Amino acid sequence: MSITNVILAVEDELSESISRQILRHFNFEIQHTIRGKGNVFLRQKAPELNRSANRTSIFLLTDLDTPRDCPLGLIRSWIKGPINPTFFFRVAVMEVEPWVMADRMGFAAFLSIPLHRIPSPTDDILNPKEFLLSLARRSKKKSVREALLPAQGSTLSVGNEYNTLLSEFVQEHWNIERAAAVSPSLKRTLDRLSRETRIGSNR
């Protein structure tokens, strides 16, 4: 019997949008979403979610945040023991923004910037959020600049509509296969779910 239902655990709106597109790609149904309480909350919750994966499948997405760590090291530090086979613990390198930008063609068109401005692979960008904002500053679209960039004099690091506009791009324009060809960490996530789907269909 294949797995069709999962619980989704994410840090924020943008991570949720990306996760929903990934799970939809594999025809997973989301039963429940845990969101909006940040990285620290997810870290505290991870061991409990690992145990809960005995009863229902769970997809957790977090960020690596620093090049000092590696995805496997982060997972081990959070779980501190065997990981349940149906706990899909995934780590975006360095943040989820490289997965967004990895659809280079789609994102360049969305921002109205030249394609060559977006490097490949996007996982190698050390400060992806700052890099994305630097791309937004070059956008020919005033609405994009106003949504993504902080207002003059603001203490915020991003614009008020940052997550909303990027989530809109992910939901309406993001091509998951083009993105996986440019982001190794995204491809590993797709390969993991693809493997589970094949195993499930043979059960």
> pLDDT (tens digit, 9 = 90+) per residue, 83-120?
999 999 999 998 999 999 999 999 999 999 999 999 99
Which pLDDT does position 202 carry in this prediction?
A: 61
> What is the structure's pLDDT at 3?
62
CB atoms within 10 A of CB 148: 24
pLDDT 10s digits, 45-82: 999 999 999 888 999 999 987 777 789 999 999 998 89
Predicted local confidence at residue 1, as pLDDT? 47
Cα 26–chain centre separation: 16
Distances from the Cα of 77 to the Cα of 56, 57, 69, 182, 186, angstroms? 23, 21, 10, 27, 21
Choose among 43, 44, 63, 49: nearest CA to 8: 49
Is the model's pLDDT at 32 over the cut of 50?
Answer: yes
Average pLDDT over residues 182-194: 95
| pLDDT value at residue 10 | 96
Model pTM score: 0.92
Residue 65 confidence (pLDDT) = 77
What's the pLDDT at 69? 79
Q: Which of 90, 97, 162 is nearest to 126 (CA)?
A: 97
Would the pLDDT of 12 be above 80? yes
**Cβ-proximal residues to 7 (8 Å cutoff; 6+ apart), any chain:** 30, 31, 32, 33, 34, 49, 52, 56, 57, 58, 59
Q: Which residues pair with 34 in a beta bridge?
A: 9
CB atoms closer than 10 angstroms to residue 134: 12
Which amino acid is residue 189, in one-letter code?
T
Confidence of residue 199 (pLDDT cuts 50, 70, 90): low
pLDDT, tens digit (0-9, with 9 covering 90-100), for 114-170: 999 999 999 999 999 999 999 999 999 999 999 999 998 889 999 999 999 999 999
The sign of the CA dihedral 93, 48, 201, 26 is: negative
